Amino acid sequence: MAAACGASSLVSGRDWRELASGDIDAAFVCSPPLVWLEGAVEAIAAPVLTDDRFGDEPLYSSEVVVRAESRFRSLADLAGARWAVNEPSSWSGYWVTLARVGEWSYFGQVVEAGSHHRALRLVAEGAVDGSAIDCQVLAMELRQRPELADRIRVVASLGPSPIQPVVVRSSLAAGLRSDLCERLLSLGGPVLEHHFVRRFVAPPSYAPVAAELSRRPRPGAPARSGA
């Protein structure tokens, strides 16, 4: 996809704050950093998944997974259990769960896995009882590791939520932004479908994400005065 969009280089970012430097022209980023970057980047496109649940809209969900042989049958059953989060900039692996349960004290123990892949592994190994996994990541993992289907079970779906966008730095030249957007919106075919993506469209509204984030201090940020 990077080649099709004319990228001169592709890097794997370590932290969403790197996007504030202006050194990166375009990136995939989860929705909380899009809000936190406060205008340093602009969403220009978002993927539409092949999953029919989302009605051909740029949406996704988080699947609550547990170990196959566990007693848990719902998110409610997981109250007081061991839970793995992705990391605090992840909507699908962190904030969507927090929005549903209210406080992390809902669970007996919360472990920061650092990625959906590791959180899923922790569940499959029985190191934790449950986690919320990005539905696209879960679909990819189940295809690449079909044996997982016998080790885990989905007991709930959180969402749908506006899917993570492609963003550009706000200072990017208008012509380059327009060209990149045009290229993204023209993409399709087997390569995208291999990743369970049908096409790219204009980004959805991230207002629901911003509203939820505004209710709580950003992890690692100082508390607001008077909060």
Q: How far apart are alpha carbons 53 and 170 in whole angstroms?
A: 33
CA torsion 168-172-174-178 (nearest 10°) is -30
Q: For residue 212, which of 16, 32, 78, 75 has the smallest C-alpha distance?
A: 32
Kindly state the helix (H) or strand (E) to which residue 59 belongs, with its residue range. Answer: strand 59-67
pLDDT of residue 11: 61
Please give the mean pLDDT across all residues of the chain: 91
Q: How far apart are alpha carbons 87 and 93 in whole angstroms?
A: 7
pLDDT digits (tens, 9 = 90+) for 179-204: 999 999 999 999 999 999 999 999 99
Instruction: Provide the 3-class DSSP secondary structure of residue 166.
Output: strand
Residue 78 contacts residue 129 (beta carbons within 8 Å): yes
152, β-bridge pairs: 67
Is this prediction's pTM over 0.85? yes
Omega into 222 within 30° of 0, i.e. cis? no
Q: How far apart are alpha carbons 97 and 52 in whole angstroms?
A: 23
Whether the pLDDT of residue 218 is over 90: the answer is no
Instruction: Provide the 3-class DSSP secondary structure of residue 157.
Output: strand
pLDDT digits (tens, 9 = 90+) for 121-165: 999 999 999 999 999 999 999 999 999 999 999 999 999 999 999
Domain annotation for the chain: domains and CATH numbers: 16-49+164-213 (3.40.190.10), 59-161 (3.40.190.10)
